[in-house]
Structure 1
Amino acid sequence: MTSRVPSIACIGIIGKHNNPLHISLFPPEERAPLEYQFLLSSCLDIFEARLPHKVADQDFGLLQAVDERLAMYGWLTNTGVKFVLVVDMEGRPATAQDSKTSIAVGLRDADMKSAFRALQTAYIMLLRNPFYTPDEHSPLAANAEHRVGSTQITSRKFIQEVKRIAETWALGVTHI
């Protein structure tokens, strides 16, 4: 039997009004989108419960262990946007590169920081795009103007960067 190492199963970006801005599954053909949407929604209460106790740290650490295989980690931006990483502890077969690093039984919060920092950088680059208006992706703005628009992020460059982050992340990687 080949050994398996953790990998990112899902990346969710949730707006400040708790609306999903972006959800990516890895690999998409093996994941049930509705199941992961439910999982992402279930972690919103955890963010709210921990928010009064957070001072300056954006890393919310382990939000919840769904089962022995899936774990959810969270990060909050200064603007109230939440990043959620769902890690599959048996995500992919181990490679020769993985054997060079110590494969831990579990993940530490520090193992996730490089992915969260890379996601935050990708999101900041999206916000710097003059053609992207974050308020257009708010469900409150869409309802106020009675328009039917997507509240999802559709930038191909951002989506490709999210995919790159998920595929690059591994235990022991300190910079993505």
Structure 2
Amino acid sequence: MAGRAPSIACIGVIGKHNNPLHISLFPPDERAALEFSFLLSSSLDIFEARLPHKTADQDFGLLQAVDERLAMYGWLTNTGVKFVIIVDMEGRPATAETKISAAVGLRDADLKPAFRALQTAYIELLRNPFYEPDQHSPLTANAEQRIGSTQITSRRFINQVKRIGDLWAPGVSDL
């Protein structure tokens, strides 16, 4: 589609036990949350298949092209938490800068700034003394905690993820 550039459609944070910790949709009112939950779940098989072949590099690159419009990219932290970004190749109207990169196509390196910013936001979340990452694990949560959410509820983290999803565009090097 002429005049359109790639944008982030979904950002998912998946725990080390393959439990969803956070899902953000861009824009939130136009996307089907259930559809993206299924897509994020399907990415777990790809992570597992590639894990024995990975070295120290955390960037899993393109996980899969869902269709001609959506593509999933992955990143693995050293704690086993996975970040998945689903890119909509026709996501937003193109600007002068994004028209050039849209014509060339999307490279894995275009998403590295977004993944680095996500990892920084997650590290800041872990540094919060009131955040307990094991509380969000289905394997370690006790019966009282299972009643609550296993999702990340930190407003600061959620706002950082929203900022990343809103600001990212191909060629952006600093988020």
TM-score, normalised relative to structure 2: 0.95
* C-alpha distance in 2 between matches for 1:123 and 1:159: 10
Deviates more, 1:8-17 or 1:104-113: 104-113
Q: What's the counterpart of residue 116 of structure 1? A: 115
Deviations 1:75-113 (A, max 9, x none): 0000000000000000001124434x5433421110110
Task: Determine the C-alpha separation between the residues in 2 that align with 1:6 and 1:25.
Answer: 15
Cα pair 2:40 2:84 within 8 Å, conserved: yes
Aligned equivalent of 1:14: 14
Match of 1:29 in 2: 29
- Map of 1:89 onto structure 2: 89
SS of residue paired to 2:157: helix
Equivalent residue pairs, number: 173
| Residue 146 (structure 1) aligned with residue 143 (structure 2) | yes
What's the offset of the Cα at 1:67?
A: 0.1
The secondary structure found in structure 2 opposite 1:139 is coil
RMSD across aligned C-alpha pairs, in angstroms?
A: 1.3
Aligned to 2:165: 166
Q: What is the one-letter code of the residue matched to 2:78?
A: N
Q: Which residue of 1 aligns with 2:155?
A: 156
**Structure 1: tracts of 5 or more residues without a match:** none
Question: How far has the Cα of 1:174 moved from its partner?
Answer: 1.2
**SS of match in other structure, 1:22:** strand
Q: Which amino acid aligns with 2:32?
A: A
1:71-110 alignment runs, 5 A limit: 71-99=71-99, 101-110=100-109
Deviations 1:18-68 (A, max 9, x none): 000000000011000000000000010000000001110000000000000
Question: What does residue 42 of structure 2 align with?
Answer: 42
- Identity, in percent, stands at 79
Query: Gaps (5+ residues) in structure 2?
Result: none
Q: What secondary structure is seen at the aligned counterpart in 1 of 2:140?
A: helix
Counterpart CA distance in 2 for 1:104 and 1:12 is 27
Q: Scaled by the length of structure 1, what TM-score is found?
A: 0.94
Give the distance between the partners of 2:66 and 2:74, measured in 1 at CA: 14
